[in-house]
Amino acid sequence: KILILDFGSQYTQLIARRIREARVYCEIHPCTVDFNKIEEFEPKGIILSGGPGSVYAEDSPQVDERIFDMGVPVLGICYGMQIICKHFGGVVSRSAEREYGRSELHINNDTDLFRGVSSEDKITVWMSHGDKLDSMPENFSVIGYTKNAPIAAMKHISRPFYAIQFHPEVVHTPKGSEIFRNFVVDICGCKQIWTSGNFIHTEIDKIREIVGDKRVLCALSGGVDSSVVAVLLHEAIGSNLTCVFVDNGLLRKGEADDVVKTFRDSFSINLVHVDARKRFLNVLKGVTDPEEKRKKIGNTFIEVFEEEAVKHGPFEFLAQGTLYPDVIESVSFKGPSATIKTHHNVGGLPERMNFSLIEPLRELFKDEVRKVGLELGIPEKMIMRHPFPGPGLAIRILGEVTEDRLAILRLADAIAINEIKGAGLYNEIWQAFSVLLPVQSVGVMGDNRTYENVLAFRAVSSVDGMTADWSRIPYEVLGSISNRIINEVQGINRVVYDISSKPPATIEWE
């Protein structure tokens, strides 16, 4: 396995993804992690990430230099290159011009790091840095250069230390995956055995060992993560698992039925189906502020869930669908960032209730979770479904949430998604959904004036939800979405398409 030490780069997660794609297991830890922990991890190779700092700035993040005496290969990327350079006595200086964007890298094809990467002696790479190497550290040789950076890649002449100025982890370095493969497989000697099948096997054994014959409680929402957790645990411990599915009335059309059918009927999971629709509607009465909606929905969920836990308990364990990005988020080397929206699905629950946590997906990225889900036999329809926020349709109804408005939005959204699927666009789109606006507009139907709701349709492409662009959906498809909704949904007489990207807009409207 590979250890990635994070110096605060926005791309660190991508390094991990590229390595996992090479079917090699890796973990990200902050650069400040204790050296004992690094030794315990027993990495076969170490990668030093990029970072916003400059090695010579005061308080710049450093790393325990004993990593260079562990006898394992080290690859430094961008800031990580500067760390290596400084350790071995080279000179880094602030370059007058920041180099940012695509660049041609001339490579030495005979080097193990670049072997087989390209049939030519140059590749396109993505540069993003303000500092550059002025003089090489001792015993290093250049293995790649660009027009602006005479030392864009270097290698120690006798030990397995490598440093590169560019970012092989981003898609703008098309051959990046091959470079990582060369490093982790050929140079570090890692075996390519990290697959979803292997994961399921070892995870089931682990769960059985931890849980024994004790009982586990799991909150099942029908989303990808909790579904995979539920089925994985069910495979491991069968009837000692109880899932609680809270129908908050804020779900999409047919969703609640699907959850019950799939998990109770097909998988024979112990499923407690709580119909809390009225309760949530009551709590939301008169609430229009988005953050207040989130808070009320989050708290009500916890109340309902706690009541059910007591009713069906006792349970020793609580299973959660925490993913690796959530874990990294909490351990990474980062400054505080502004709260734009509180995403309520993390937090609250475990501390208040006296459970030990089981988080079988803690090491996985979303795409890996999907593979595991398909392998476990969960229907593709559920696994490939677009992300859906915890507060559900409540944050897609601007203004007060009422039963009538929920019914309008639910029907309109189902029609829109049906058209998107019919046009074969669903899997290309990160998220497509409808938003009911607190606005009425004038229309004419037949000979009559109408004064009804406006519905906004939104579809975005994204890799991780952090940034997003609006989808260029063909006019014909937009046309039929609009036509069908206005004809079939009573209460809507106008449909608009949202063409804002994130940033500066966000994906959801609230």
Closest distance of CB 399 from ligand XMP, Å? 17
The answer to the question of residue 343 lying near ligand XMP (CB under 6 A) is: yes
Alpha helix ranges (H) inside 425-508: 475-488
Q: What is the distance between the alpha carbons of residues 312 and 269, in angstroms, rounded to a whole number?
A: 14
The answer to the question of residue 322 lying near ligand XMP (CB under 6 A) is: no
The answer to the question of residue 385 lying near ligand XMP (CB under 6 A) is: no
Closest distance of CB 204 from ligand XMP, Å? 27
From 87, 99, 169, 234, the catalytic residue: 169
Cis omega before residue 314 (within 30°)? Answer: yes
Active site residue 428: no
The answer to the question of residue 507 lying near ligand XMP (CB under 6 A) is: yes
Q: Smaller CB distance to ligand XMP: residue 371 or 458?
A: 458
SS3 call for 239: helix
Closest distance of CB 223 from ligand XMP, Å? 8
Active site residue 312: no
Q: Smaller CB distance to ligand XMP: residue 156 or 458?
A: 458
Distance from first CA to last CA of the chain, Å, rounded?
A: 41
Residue in the block written with tokens 């909704």: 485
The answer to the question of residue 506 lying near ligand XMP (CB under 6 A) is: yes
Q: Which residues pair with 133 in a beta bridge?
A: 92
Q: Within its chain, how far is the Cα of 166 from the centroid?
A: 24
| Sheet with 91-107, edge to edge strand ranges | 26-30, 2-6, 45-48, 74-77, 161-164, 153-156, 140-145, 91-107, 122-135
Q: Smaller CB distance to ligand XMP: residue 182 or 431?
A: 431
Under 8 Å between Cβ of 12 and 52: no
Q: Smaller CB distance to ligand XMP: residue 279 or 502?
A: 502
Pick from 13, 365, 390, 458: which binds ligand XMP (CB under 6 A)?
390
The answer to the question of residue 321 lying near ligand XMP (CB under 6 A) is: no
Binding residues for ligand XMP, how many (CB under 6 A)?
15
Q: What is the DSSP letter of 216?
A: E
Residue in the block written with tokens 């970012």: 167
Closest distance of CB 428 from ligand XMP, Å? 16
Closest distance of CB 58 from ligand XMP, Å? 35
For the chain, helix (H) and strand (E) counts, in that order, are 15, 18
**Residues tagged in the binding site annotation for ATP:** 221-227
Contact region for ligand XMP (CB under 6 A) — 135-143, 183-191, 358-366, 389-397?
389-397
Under 8 Å between Cβ of 471 and 460: yes
- Report CA dihedral (150, 155, 161, 167) to the nearest 10 degrees: 40
Q: What is the distance between the alpha carbons of residues 85 and 55, in angstroms, rounded to a whole number?
A: 10
User: Phi, psi (5° rounding) for residue 77?
Assistant: -115, 125
Closest distance of CB 42 from ligand XMP, Å? 36
Closest distance of CB 465 from ligand XMP, Å? 4
Q: Smaller CB distance to ligand XMP: residue 141 or 506?
A: 506
Helix, strand, coil in percent for the chain, rounding step 5: 35, 25, 40
Q: What is the distance between the alpha carbons of residues 234 and 389, in angstroms, rounded to a whole number?
A: 25
The answer to the question of residue 373 lying near ligand XMP (CB under 6 A) is: no
The answer to the question of residue 264 lying near ligand XMP (CB under 6 A) is: no
Contact region for ligand XMP (CB under 6 A) — 183-191, 240-248, 386-394, 492-500?
386-394
Cis omega before residue 504 (within 30°)? Answer: yes
The answer to the question of residue 309 lying near ligand XMP (CB under 6 A) is: no
From 29, 129, 156, 167, the catalytic residue: 167
The answer to the question of residue 344 lying near ligand XMP (CB under 6 A) is: yes
| CA proximity to 378, closest of 242, 266, 241, 251 | 266
The answer to the question of residue 82 lying near ligand XMP (CB under 6 A) is: no
The answer to the question of residue 277 lying near ligand XMP (CB under 6 A) is: no
- Binding-residue pattern over the window 108 to 147 for ligand XMP, x denoting contact by CB under 6 A: ----------------------------------------
Q: Retrieve residue 187's tokens.
A: 């140079």
From 78, 188, 190, 218, the catalytic residue: 78
Pick from 30, 348, 465, 491: which binds ligand XMP (CB under 6 A)?
465
Q: What is the distance between the alpha carbons of residues 228 and 230, in angstroms, rounded to a whole number?
A: 5
| CA proximity to 299, closest of 349, 342, 341, 251 | 349
Q: Give the type of residue at 329.
A: E
Closest distance of CB 497 from ligand XMP, Å? 17
The answer to the question of residue 391 lying near ligand XMP (CB under 6 A) is: yes
Total Cβ atoms within 10 A of residue 325: 17
Q: Within its chain, how far is the Cα of 333 from the centroid?
A: 18
- Binding-residue pattern over the window 414 to 453 for ligand XMP, x denoting contact by CB under 6 A: -----------------x----------------------
The answer to the question of residue 290 lying near ligand XMP (CB under 6 A) is: no
Contact region for ligand XMP (CB under 6 A) — 76-84, 137-145, 245-253, 383-391?
383-391
Active site residue 26: no
Closest distance of CB 368 from ligand XMP, Å? 18
| CA proximity to 438, closest of 509, 341, 343 | 509
Pick from 181, 234, 252, 294: which binds ligand XMP (CB under 6 A)?
294
Q: What is the distance between the alpha carbons of residues 63 and 254, in angstroms, rounded to a whole number?
A: 52
**Could you list the active site residues?**
78, 167, 169
Contact set with ligand XMP (CB under 6 A): 294, 341, 343-345, 387, 389-391, 431, 465, 502, 506-508
